[in-house]
Chain A
Amino acid sequence: SSTVPACAYSPDPFTSSTSSDEENSDDDDIVEPIDEQEIYDLIAPITDPEHPLTLGSLSVVNLPDIHLTPLFPPSSSSTSPPITVLTVYITPTITHCSLATVIGLGVRVRLEQALPSRFRVDVRIKEGTHSTAEQVNKQLGDKERVAAALENGTLMGVLRKMLKGCEGT
């Protein structure tokens, strides 16, 4: 009950209960191409924690700032799994926005819940758009902190509200 609404069409990597390794990797082997526009459509309806406007309408998330790259170069060994690195640069509305971390966390959580586990989601502050970008980036990149945040009831309440607009996507 502490999870964000299941607005996902694919398993949530944090809570999904895959019945076996084999089944899991079979699922993941079916690599359906997902493009930047689809990623944008997943995160644009997230609402700002302070007002009822979406991150898309506020231009916090922008299509040109979404990048998909394979983790292993195509030339690497045939046993390398098809892991995709997804980097999303967010643009806070003001350079000292204290909620940048929460917004970034919302984007990361939304993507991790919506995308198959072969995606590695990196959410970062777009260069030059925030006074403490480095600190925010480090927090958002720390999987242990993110996992602990997802067990924090107060924070989950905020995230649930932000992701409400994603329902039925």
Chain B
Amino acid sequence: MTTSSTAGPVSITLLSSLAEPSLHHTWLTAAHPTQPLVATCSSDKCVRVYSLKTSSHLSTINGGHKRSIRTCAWKPGLKGENVIATGSFDATVGIWRRWDNDLSLRRSDVKMSEEDFTGANGNGNTDEDDDDEWRFAIVLEGHESEVKSVSWSAGGNLLATCSRDKSVWIWEEMGDDDYETVAVLQEHEGDVKCVSWHPEELLLASSSYDDDIRLWREDVDDWGCVSILRGHESTVWAVEWEGVKSTAQGTSSTENPGIRLASCSDDQTIRIWRKIPKEKGPPQSKLSIIRSGSIEEEWVEDSQLPRAHVRSIYSIGWSKNTGRIVSTGGDGKIVVYIEDQGSWSVLAENDGAHGVSEINHVCWAHMGDNREVIVSTAEDGSVKVWAI
């Protein structure tokens, strides 16, 4: 699939615009981990859930937050129910639940042919009925100011949140809707803009207005900073982990030694960071009495992506399928990058993907048939789906 040198220009083609969009300043669209669903959060205090297959609006979360909903994330690993965490400028985090069985796209529909759009039958009528079906489960209070980002751990039992109050909180689900604070990490010197859990390890990345990225792990029973990634010259808006290559498929694990993280910044660069594997195996410090330094990890800036943006870069997505990176920002461009033997090049660009609007977020999402698409969310409220 990922031919290294494409002869002609590859284009980013518009598949659809999601309807009906928010008419307000809109921040982010989160892709469902397995189903062709996305959730868009907006300054109108709502989260709208859309079907990617029909590009239509399915349900709305509202009534829970007093100010802009800045961020949201689908809890992974659930069956029969969907759970979304929302983070708001009102300093709170909401957890919302909804039974899966009344969504118009079920597991069985996913296997239907691509041409079959009847999966969303009765779509016009169900909209209103569906509206009430997101149930507010719990509000997580603790942050002192705007919540900027939320992220579920791969197992779904930990939720990380961050805020303008410079802190990162880690919450653990102890039982049904019972969340306990397991860590409050206060080492950043500015707003924490983004948090992101590694797709496999219990390793958390946070990026900040202080221009730094911090990595956090649990050591014995305390969470601590294991590395500070310095290099960006301004606010680091987002961080995104590389997907974990499954070794079962015969790909050599020596191809990419060390796990990698991508970051994008107001300094208009995207950087890739790599962990230097330790000589010996991972330190088992459970019995160690000497704590200081024992959990430190060595990370280096591996590479920078070619410069393609001329304003702040707000968002990046790293495809777990193809390894491609997509980026967007204040210049309204969407750019896709491809890696070939450690060197990155621009595969495709789209200027003015949302007209003159700034684009606040971009991510990869599944159409449900192995087809991967790009979903972009603009300042003007529009959400667009793209093929490459």
Residues of A within 8 A of B (CB): 13-15, 17-18, 21, 24-25, 28, 71-72, 76-77, 79-83, 116-118, 120, 138, 141-145, 147-148, 151
Contact = CB atoms under 8 A, between A and B. Distances in A.
A142 B311 CA distance: 12
Question: What 6 A-B pairs come out closest when comparing CB atoms?
Answer: A81-B352, A25-B355, A118-B356, A17-B23, A80-B351, A81-B356
A142 B235 contact: yes
A124 to B, nearest CB: 14
A79 B67 contact: no
Contact of B266 (A17, A83, A141, A151): A141
B89 A21 contact: no
B288 to A, nearest CB: 40
Given A21-B382, A151-B67, A28 B355 contact: yes
A83 B353 CA distance: 13
Nearest to A73: B310
Given A144-B148, A148-B89, A18 B380 contact: yes
A83 B331 CA distance: 8
B146 interface: yes
Interface string B72-108: 0000000000000000010000000000000000000
A138 B234 contact: yes
Contact of A151 (B17, B23, B68, B382): B68
Contact of A18 (B17, B23, B331, B352): B23
B354 A21 contact: yes
B51 to A, nearest CB: 19
Interface of B: 17, 23-25, 43, 67-68, 70, 89, 146, 148, 164, 191, 193, 209, 234-235, 266, 310-312, 330-332, 350-352, 354-358, 379-382
Contacts of A83: 331-332, 352, 356
B23 A21 contact: no
Given A144-B148, A144-B193, A81 B24 contact: no
A148 B68 contact: yes
B234 A117 contact: no
Given A117-B380, A138-B235, A151-B89, A25 B356 contact: yes
Query: Which of B191, B352, B355 has the largest number of chain A CB atoms within 10 A?
Result: B355
A72 B309 CA distance: 10
Contacts of B331: 71-72, 83
B56 to A, nearest CB: 16
A71 B70 CA distance: 27
B380 A24 contact: yes
A81 B352 CA distance: 5
Contacts of B193: 144
Contacts of A117: 356-357, 379-380
Contact of A28 (B235, B310, B312, B356): B356
Given A72-B310, A141-B266, A147 B209 contact: no
B17 A21 contact: yes
B352 A79 contact: yes
Nearest to A26: B355
A60 to B, nearest CB: 25
Nearest to B17: A21
Given A81-B355, A147-B25, A148-B89, A71 B310 contact: yes
A72 B351 contact: yes
A151 B382 CA distance: 21
Nearest to A116: B356
Contact of B311 (A21, A24, A71): A71
A18 B380 CA distance: 8
A147 B43 contact: yes
A12 to B, nearest CB: 10
Given A18-B23, A83-B331, A120-B330, A147 B68 contact: yes
A1 to B, nearest CB: 14
Contacts of B332: 81, 83
Nearest to B146: A148
Nearest to B90: A151
Nearest to B89: A148
B351 A81 contact: yes
Given A72-B351, A145-B191, A151-B67, 17 more contacts: A14-B24, A18-B23, A18-B380, A24-B355, A24-B357, A25-B355, A71-B310, A79-B350, A81-B332, A81-B351, A83-B332, A117-B380, A120-B311, A138-B235, A142-B235, A142-B266, A147-B68
B8 to A, nearest CB: 15
Nearest to A81: B352
A121 to B, nearest CB: 11
Contacts of A18: 23, 380-381
A145 B68 CA distance: 12
Query: Which of B89, B352, B379 has the largest number of chain A CB atoms within 10 A?
Result: B352
Contacts of B351: 72, 76-77, 79-81
